């Protein structure tokens, strides 16, 4: 039976996005969102629960996300869930974690005047068509990326 994996997350970036490139030259951007939920406990006490969601964007969506998103900025991400699996190097235990592969990113609100993107910044960037299977293989990489993935220059401004 076919499955379905879809998720929509609205939260604040916990750190500046990190733009990387695969050895084949495909852009990949990683960032995390903090998503909070406020509620009242049975005893009437107010409480807040925060979840941290890792997000990965590919291709042009990765480049645009890295350019316009900043730590603290509110973003709406829709995408699909992917499970990373790896073996812990020290304990040799199998580990796994869920993350979101972004299909679209919407930049919500703005920061200070200096942090806000220029007026020509896109508000919503849809993801490109899915890449061939050979390019999607890096999606399953563990959180610590292999050394052959080179870091992009910190400030790629045009």
User: Tens digits of per-residue pLDDT, 6-17?
Assistant: 999 999 999 999
Domain 7-38+48-151 belongs to what architecture? Answer: Beta Barrel (2.40)
Over the range 106-136, which residues count as b (16 or more CB within 10 Å of their CB) and which as e? ebeeeeeeeeebeeeeeeebebeeebeeeee
- Per-block mean pLDDT, blocks of 10 residues, the chain (158 long): 87 95 94 94 93 95 94 94 89 90 87 46 50 38 39 36
The pLDDT of residue 121: 45
* Dist CA 71 CA 15 (whole Å): 4
The pLDDT of residue 65: 94
């Amino acid at each position: 039976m076919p499955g379905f994996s879809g998720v929509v997350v609205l939260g604040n970036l916990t750190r500046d996005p990190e733009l990387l490139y695969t050895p084949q030259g495909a852009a990949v951007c990683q960032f995390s969102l903090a998503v909070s939920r406020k509620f009242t406990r049975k005893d009437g006490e107010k409480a807040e629960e925060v979840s941290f969601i890792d997000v990965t964007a590919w291709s042009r969506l990765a480049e645009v996300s890295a350019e316009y998103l900043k730590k603290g900025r509110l973003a709406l991400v829709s995408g699909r869930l992917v499970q990373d699996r790896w073996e812990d190097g020290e304990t040799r235990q199998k580990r796994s974690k869920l993350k979101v592969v972004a299909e679209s990113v919407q930049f919500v609100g703005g920061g200070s005047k200096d942090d806000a993107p220029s007026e020509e910044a896109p508000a919503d960037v849809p993801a490109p068509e899915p890449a061939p299977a050979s390019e999607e293989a890096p999606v399953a990489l563990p959180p610590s990326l292999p050394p052959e993935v080179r870091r992009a220059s910190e400030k790629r401004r045009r």
